[in-house]
Amino acid sequence: MHKLLKSILLLGILITCCWTAQPASATSLSGLKVMKEMAQDAVPYEVAIASQKPTILEFYADWCSVCQSMAPTMQTLEQQYGEDINFVMLNVDEAQWLPQMDQYDVTGVPQFTLLNEQQSLVKSLVGRIPQIILADEFEQLS
């Protein structure tokens, strides 16, 4: 029961932190499209965790405007580092990912959780992260 309450509280925090009442713009719609395409093509969580490559777990939500705005950046980085790093996308609105949200202490979206080759936590970054900072972190992982 404690985990259920924690999960409900976490989802409430995520909604509070990232909800936007602004109408969707053309940019956010294109970001949403890119994000959905990336999620569809992402490495499955189970495959990534079983591999010996570093992994990026992106915790996201379709409704999150920051997630949408980060999608083109993540797409560019995935094209650059995708051979050396697993890119995994986990939608926080899907209950199946609640154990991972708890395990990796998800506090907001987007959250980028970096795992080394042994799939041990290296670092987590939350929010709008500049591409140059993400690229530097990915370079250190690969």
131 burial via Cβ count (<10 Å: 0-12, 13-18, 19+):
middle
Q: Which two tokens stand for residue 75?
A: 């797409």
64, 88, 92, 109: the catalytic one is 64
Amino acid in the structure at residue 102: D
- Tokens read off for 15: 């909604």
Write down the residue that tokens 């202490």 correspond to.
105
As a whole number of angstroms, the distance between CA 142 and CA 138 comes to 6
Cα of 12 vs its chain's centroid, Å: 18
Helices (H) and strands (E) in the chain, counts: 6, 4
Is position 64 annotated as part of the catalytic site? yes
Catalytic residue among 67, 70, 88, 90: 67
Residues annotated as part of the active site: 64, 67
